[in-house]
Chains A and B, each alone.
Chain A
């Protein structure tokens, strides 16, 4: 195992040297932040490269709405630094366990309940510094809100599971924490809830989270004090006290739904797609756009149903992790993926096979 940041010297350079060494020796690397999302993606072999030592907030200016942090920075630490100034990460990244890092959150590209209403991880990324498969330290994007100089590589590495390079630093846009946030609960069937969530999303109501499970729809509204009051009036549900704890449990998969031995699928479909005829138990988020399924059904069966409505299915937890866990891509599109992997990591040093077997 190699880890960086002990000597307190130029860590970027240290990582770059380790990468160059791995290239020379032909040893693949398994990039590791907090190891809280090691279950995600395909099983991948490689010598662990520990990045937690490369940590710290590089710059943060609340009035710029921008924060820059090294990849090994603890997500919890970053979030509390932002909260001190009344700000937050708009995409509400899940931690899944203690020790989650910023780099891991970016590489996995997972967003929380606010995603359909505020944006996804990549929507908030403004710039990155990465080390590519030639061991070169590269900087793309920046710390400003708009930047179209060069290809948008900062956003390309989001969700690439480390297969394009080592993320060493990231700049993100942050958001003010809403003045008020409330959650209401309404009894509703699944099909009705999907329709209702989408109708509301088409109206100017400050919704910031939706979840349907077991006959109950939960809706979170955020905004100014008077704005939230008015919204609660329009939604006409039962106000609950433990709203914050509820959304935390959904985001972190601590909700009772997730305690199960069956395979867990993440189903991403057009938000208003009707309930899918698949056996298993469902928890629906994101106005219908993200659906969790616990099921013993075969992968091909699940994928076929999901594809039919224009979505994709990920074997999120459990099941056979040596097979493809992400939705297989059509040949033309996969070809571009192969070429891109080659353009960034020609020796296949970084997390080989973690995203797709061939990448």
Chain B
């Protein structure tokens, strides 16, 4: 950044900030007309919207560094944005801040097949990595349902999972190295091309940090050889609890399926209408179990799983006969969110994760809670990981319905914590689950999070207000909300 550059006054306005940033960025890389800003006003959680002061679209690391240096010097907050598919409002802009979009960083820089790694820019779409190496027999394992759209940078920032992470891990298990621009504009390398790096495991720490610790400008991912064989079994159950128990029974055999997913009746009907995959629309739940590996392993495993499914009381079982049918069976599961969107004007996706053995109990409780609130809920989720995705169907145009939906969502998250789980398995806290963080963590734990954040960002300029609630916010929330009869922040003032 040129030292002689004109400085913007404190409390900078949109026009001035735009002009300032155009000193260092191309004209088209700075957006400051409200009309241009509109597409950036929300992420996938569209109930929350705000216009940023300015959007910047840098396409070199130096430009990102310049923007960060300038914003740090002027105490202007910065929110990073990948593809904006996040479901927790993590990329929601700040009215007094810069929105830094990484969409122009869309190049795959290098593929090293012998080391099985790819060096990519953060704006590269998740699926594009697998597509680029597919012909060589490789793929990038984490496959969120949003993989055609979401960016790898956003995946790292959220520690995204997918349909196959029970066996192949989450984002954190499938990356080796990051280039990160700090809040002061310095470039640091975190992780290494080797399997581990010296010092603290900052690679794990950066993963899932929701844009609060630095701007990720380059990622080295691990590539896996495609399994030689994959077989998908689809089993129907007349009772959702039986389906839930079947999940634990499969794991207990010592087989780790490549994918283990579940849909309830409402979700099955919605997706069947959408993709016509031939699902059993009378089943209370269907379980997808994919076995992959060498052909010999798969044939060993499939026999065993079939037996377990029968013993668990499934009413019907189908094995995809060929690759085309396997893709067709999966297509409904992958399209479950848009399909739910056709059932109702709006839907709200919950991300609580629970111990597998509680699946049956929690699904039953969720159904009861839905009835209490008079809202329909479709369930489609990562059963093998215990990661639930209840979709609450609502109509935002009906007064009060969004508020009721959010309240119900909060209740479901608290239930997840109560049974030993967490408020978010893969979508992140963002702005959405900030109150529930007060349920999951106590004051000293939240204070430790704040101290950690300050180690990277002492003036709280990176995505401030997200992911970790302030203690006073929790006191306010706690006052309305007493958890298991104990006040979590007894010493703080009530409002």
With A142-B420, A153-B448, A343-B451 as known contacts, state yes or no: A148 contacts B297, CB within 8 Å. Answer: no
Interface string of A236-270 (1 = CB under 8 A from B): 00000000000000000000000000000000111
Which listed residue (A147, A229, A268, A337) contacts B296, Cβ 8 A?
A229
**Do A146 and B169 touch (CB < 8 A)?**
no
A43 at the interface (CB under 8 A from B): no
Stretch at the interface among A6-14, A23-31, A76-84, A175-183: A175-183
B495 on the interface (CB 8 Å rule)?
A: no
Q: Are B252 and A148 in contact (CB under 8 A)?
A: no
CA of A116 to CA of B441, assembled, Å = 34
Q: Mark A186-199, 1 if CB is under 8 A from B, else 0.
A: 00000000010011
B237-261 vs A: 1/0 string, CB under 8 Å? 0000000000011011011100000
Q: How many A residues face the partner with a CB closer than 8 A?
A: 90
- B357 touches which one: A64, A109, A146, A289 (CB < 8 A)? A64
- In the complex, B165 has a CB within 8 A of chain A: yes
Identify which of A198, A327, A328, A332 contacts B115 (C-beta below 8 A). Answer: A198
Q: Which of A44-52, A97-105, A155-163, A211-219 contacts B (4 or more CB under 8 A)?
A: A155-163
Assuming the contacts A151-B449, A153-B452, A226-B299, asked whether A146 and B294 have C-beta atoms less than 8 A apart, the reply is: no
Of the candidates A86, A87, A158, A203, the one whose C-beta lies within 8 Å of that of B201 is A158
Distance between Cα atoms of A142 and B295 in the complex (Å): 35
Check if B188 is an interface residue, CB within 8 A of chain A.
yes
Interface centre among B170, B186, B196 (most CB of A within 10 A): B196
Question: Which residues from chain B contact A230 at a C-beta distance below 8 Å?
Answer: 294-296
Q: Which of B436-491 contact A (CB under 8 A)?
A: 437, 440-441, 444-445, 448-449, 451-456, 467-468
Chain B residues with CB under 8 Å of A290's CB are 195
In the complex, A223→B254 CA distance in Å? 11
Check if B265 is an interface residue, CB within 8 A of chain A. no
Residues of A within 8 Å of B437, CB to CB, are 149-150
Given A146-B385, A151-B452, check contact A329 B199 (CB 8 Å): yes
Report yes or no: A289 in contact with B195, Cβ–Cβ below 8 A: yes
Chain B residues, CB < 8 A from A204: 225-228, 293-294
Decide: B297 and A202 in contact? CB cutoff 8 A. Answer: no
Find residues 415-451 in chain B having any chain A CB closer than 8 Å to their own CB: 420-429, 433, 437, 440-441, 444-445, 448-449, 451
Given the known interface contacts A206-B294, A270-B115, A340-B455, the answer about A155 and B205 at a Cβ–Cβ threshold of 8 Å is yes
Interface presence of A201 (CB below 8 A): yes
Asked if A353 is at the interface of the complex by the 8 Å CB criterion, the answer is no
Residue of A nearest to B297 (CB): A227
Which listed segment binds B: A32-40, A275-283, A309-317? A309-317
Contact (Cβ within 8 A) A326 B205: no
A15 at the interface (CB under 8 A from B): no
Q: How far is the CB of A336 from chain B (nearest CB, A)?
A: 7
CB distance from A142 to the nearest CB of B (A): 5
For the complex, give the distance between the alpha carbons of A180 and B278 in Å: 38
Residues of B within 8 A of A286 (CB): 195
Say yes or no: B169 contacts A123, CB within 8 Å.
yes
Q: Which residue of A lies closest to B228 (CB)?
A: A204
* Closest chain A residue, CB of each to CB of B189: A333
Checking A63, A123, A229, A332 against B188 with a beta-carbon cut-off of 8 angstroms, the contacting residue is A332
Q: Are A147 and B424 in contact (CB under 8 A)?
A: yes
B326 at the interface (CB under 8 A from A): no
Minimum CB–CB distance from A91 to chain B (whole Å) comes to: 12
- CB of B461 to closest CB in A, whole Å: 15
Q: Does B67 interact with chain A (Cβ within 8 Å)?
A: no
Q: Is the beta-carbon distance between B445 and A206 smaller than 8 angstroms? A: no
Nearest-Cβ distance from residue B250 to partner chain A, whole angstroms: 9
Q: Mark B294-308, 1 if CB is under 8 A from A, else 0.
A: 111101110000000
- B367 part of interface (Cβ distance < 8 Å): no
B161 A63 Cβ-Cβ under 8 A: no
- Complex Cα distance A198/B296, Å? 22
Asked if B277 is at the interface of the complex by the 8 Å CB criterion, the answer is: no
Q: Provide the bound-state CA to CA distance between A75 and B5, in Å.
A: 60
**A144 on the B face (CB < 8 A):** yes
Decide yes or no whether B114 CB sits under 8 A from chain A: yes
| A145-B387, A149-B424 as given contacts; A312 in contact with B192, CB under 8 Å | yes
User: Contacts A119-B169, A311-B192 given: A152-B208 contact, CB under 8 Å?
Assistant: yes
Chain A residues with CB under 8 A of B115: 198, 270-272
Q: Which residues of B contact A336 (CB under 8 A)?
A: 182, 188, 202, 455-456
**Interchain CB contact under 8 A, A132 and B422:** no
Known contacts A63-B249, A156-B201, A271-B115: A224-B448 contact under CB 8 Å: no
- Measured CB to CB, the residues of A under 8 A from B are 61-66, 86-87, 109, 115-116, 119-120, 122-123, 132, 134, 136-140, 142-153, 155-156, 158-160, 164, 175-177, 179, 195, 198-199, 201-206, 223-227, 229-231, 268-272, 286, 289-290, 310-312, 314, 326-330, 332-334, 336-337, 339-340, 342-344, 355-356
Some 21 contacts from A to B, beta carbons below 8 A apart, are A63-B252, A63-B357, A64-B251, A116-B195, A123-B173, A132-B448, A144-B386, A146-B386, A148-B426, A150-B440, A150-B445, A155-B204, A160-B201, A202-B225, A204-B228, A226-B299, A230-B294, A269-B193, A329-B199, A330-B189, A339-B456
Chain B interfacial positions (CB closer than 8 Å to A): 112-117, 137-138, 158-159, 161, 165-166, 169-170, 172-173, 182, 186-190, 192-202, 204-205, 207-209, 212-213, 225-228, 248-249, 251-252, 254-256, 293-297, 299-301, 353-357, 382, 384-387, 420-429, 433, 437, 440-441, 444-445, 448-449, 451-456, 467-468
The 7 closest A-B pairs by CB, nearest first: A176-B254, A227-B297, A339-B455, A155-B204, A146-B425, A224-B300, A226-B296
